[in-house]
Structure formats: structure tokens, C-alpha cells
Amino acid sequence: MQNAPIPKSDYLIPAGLTVVALIPALAGTVRLVGLAQGGPLTAANAHFFAQPLPVILHIIGAVLFCFVGAWQFSPGLRRRHLRWHKLAGRVVLPAGLIAAASGLWMALFYAIVPADNALLHALRLTFGAAMFVSLCLGLAAILRRDVASHRVWMMRGYAIGLGAGTQAFTMLPWILAFGFPAPMPYAILMGASWIINLGVAEVLIHRTIRRPALSVQQA
């Protein structure tokens, strides 16, 4: 079994997650290029130029977290290349913590731009904190060799971190139908992306992790 080829189906989820992660990665790259070139400067991005380090850390951390993390979701790759999985985890987890911590810092200390409102600000703080806590719990679980709990918390943390990619799919129908949303629908659509991702993560957790564990206990 150790030498059996990894089925192609094991690559579908990581490949799909990578495609979703491309959307915020491209936006982040554009942001970094703009910072490097010094503009264009607008009312919406002036705080990035005034204090660029948090947004640079956030983009780099999030890109590493989402791209490398996507390939942690291949069971065959994880079984066949456990050393790679562990080494990748040493990149994914710190990158995710940096992305979450810098995101929280920006939400707390950057000025709120006109396109945002109090609801979106609260959502960013809530889900940013939830991502940070999830990753910390994932780290604590693997340190005590509780692999099942580690996977659960890492899946939840990854789901929140990939929210920026899902936001493109929640936003696009509204933009095509009505144009760029006003602050309240914008906040609701942003929040929906995190909720959708966490909902999918909980379904996967129930199907692939919790159910086998229950079966073992009942046996």
C-alpha cells in the first residue's frame, strides 16, 4: 500500500483550493507592486503607504498559507510523503499566524475607509481572531500528538484564511447585477464568504474525521 500510486482524485481538492487562492494572491501582488512603486495614492489606500509593514506581512503570510496549505488536503500525498507534510506544516502554520495577526493589527489600527462600516470591521475582528485561535489550537494539538484535533482546527483556520478567495464568488453576482455594493451589502457579502467556507469545512470535518473516530469508539 505504501508504494501504491496516489489517485488523481487526491489532487482535485488541493488544485481547486489553489485556484481559489489565486484570486487574492493576484490582488495582493498588485498591492505589493503599488507599494513598491509608491502609488497611485488614494484615500482608500493611504494607510497602507503610511504603515506598509503590516500589509506586506499579511499578503506574504496569506499567500504562503493558502498555496502551501492547499496541498495539505491531499490524503494520498500526506500518507506517501509524511516528511513533506510535516515540513510544509512548519511553513503553513507560522504563515497563517502571521497573516491572522497582521490582519487583526490592520483592523484595529488602520483607519476605517469609506467603503467599510462597523459591521465589516466587527466581522474582520471576529474571523481574524477565530483564525488565529484555530491555528493556535491546531499547534497545541499536534504538539501533544493529537492528530485528529490538529486536522480539525487547521481545517477551520484554513477555511477562514481562504475567505478572501471566496469573496470574489460572493461579490461577482452582485457586481454584475447592481454594480459595486454599498457598505452594508458589501459587509454582508464579505461575511458570507467566511460563513460559507466554515460551513464547508464543518461538513468535511464531520465526513472525514469525526465519523471515523465515532466508528472506532463504537466498535
Q: CA-CA distance, 93 to 57, in Å (whole number)?
A: 14
Q: What is the DSSP letter of 9?
A: G
pLDDT digits (tens, 9 = 90+) for 129-145: 999 999 999 999 999 99
Quick one: pLDDT band at residue 13, thresholds 50, 70, 90?
confident
- C-alpha–C-alpha distance, residues 157 and 187, integer Å: 20
What pLDDT, on a 0 to 100 scale, did the predictor assign at position 215?
41
pLDDT tens, residue by residue, 82-109: 788 889 889 999 999 999 999 999 999 8
> pTM of this prediction?
0.86
Q: What is the mean pLDDT of residues 184-201?
A: 95
List the single range of 22-26, 68-72, 167-171, 214-218 with lowest mean pLDDT. 214-218
Amino acid present at 82: L
Q: How far are the Cα atoms of 12, 38, 68, 91, 157 from residue 99, in angstroms, in the given order? A: 25, 23, 14, 12, 11
* pLDDT at residue 10, as a whole number: 74
Residue 214 has what pLDDT? 43
Query: Cell numbers at residue 47, please?
Result: 494607510
For residues 153 and 141, is the Cβ–Cβ distance under 8 A?
yes
Instruction: Tell me the one-letter amino acid at 124.
Output: R
Cα 28–chain centre separation: 13
Q: How many CB atoms lie within 10 A of CB 202?
A: 15
